[in-house]
């Protein structure tokens, strides 16, 4: 059975330096003779990594969130159409022998957490998932329970119409 390396990262458009990193990673995975697994979309880390692996002659799996291949990267060889939305992150992680995480958002963070929870090795390239989430404003540090309650009040107040 072949080794499967899951590459997790944003499906949003990325800048040229990030494309270069993701594409090189896919190429290097293929050169090792490993299978590349991504989220299968036609943008961001998913597309760039799939392209690098494909161009190097590697086998590329794309685990898609939808029941169709609409929006799939043209560089994947096998499209796994899950119809599971973000729940497909579990399939991504459990199908991978090792997870490599490039910059991403909450979906990538969930894949990192799932990989750690399932005992999979996680290699992070070019970002700190905790810092990235804090910078997004979605994770807020509190020094004590009193501050946690105050921050909760503020968060709730911002959500009210």
Same domain, 105 and 55: yes
Q: CA dihedral in degrees (82, 85, 90, 94; nearest 10)?
A: 30
Q: Is 44 left (phi over 0), alpha (psi -120 to 50) or beta?
A: left
pLDDT tens for the chain, 161 residues long, are: 899 999 999 999 999 999 999 999 999 999 999 999 999 999 999 999 999 999 999 999 999 999 999 999 999 999 999 999 999 999 999 999 999 999 998 899 999 999 999 988 899 998 888 877 677 666 677 788 887 778 878 877 887 66
Cα 134 to Cα 119: distance, rounded to the nearest angstrom: 25
- What is this structure's pTM? 0.87
Cα 29 to Cα 99: distance, rounded to the nearest angstrom: 12
Query: What's the order of all strands across the beta sheet hosting 4-8?
Result: 78-81, 60-64, 35-38, 4-8, 98-101, 122-124
Domain extent, residue 81, equals 4-127
Same domain, 81 and 143: no
Question: Six-digit token pair at 82?
Answer: 């899950």
Same domain, 25 and 47: yes
Same domain, 123 and 58: yes
Same domain, 87 and 132: no
- In contact, 8 and 37? CB cutoff 8 Å: no
Cα 110 to Cα 105: distance, rounded to the nearest angstrom: 9
């Amino acid at each position: 059975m072949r080794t499967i390396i899951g590459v997790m990262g944003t499906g949003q458009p990325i800048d040229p330096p990030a494309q270069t990193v993701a594409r090189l990673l896919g190429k290097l995975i293929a050169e090792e003779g490993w299978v590349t697994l991504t989220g299968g979309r036609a943008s961001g880390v998913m597309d760039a990594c799939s392209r690098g692996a494909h161009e190097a002659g590697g086998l590329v799996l794309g685990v898609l969130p939808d029941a169709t291949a609409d929006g799939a990267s043209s560089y994947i060889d096998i499209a796994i159409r899950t119809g599971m939305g973000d729940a497909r992150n579990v399939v991504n992680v459990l199908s991978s022998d090792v997870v490599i995480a490039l910059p991403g958002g909450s979906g990538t963070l969930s894949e990192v957490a799932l990989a750690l929870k399932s005992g999979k090795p996680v290699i992070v390239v070019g970002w700190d998932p905790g810092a990235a989430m804090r910078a997004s404003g979605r994770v807020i540090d509190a020094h004590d329970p009193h501050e946690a309650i105050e921050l909760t009040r503020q968060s709730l107040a911002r959500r009210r119409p």
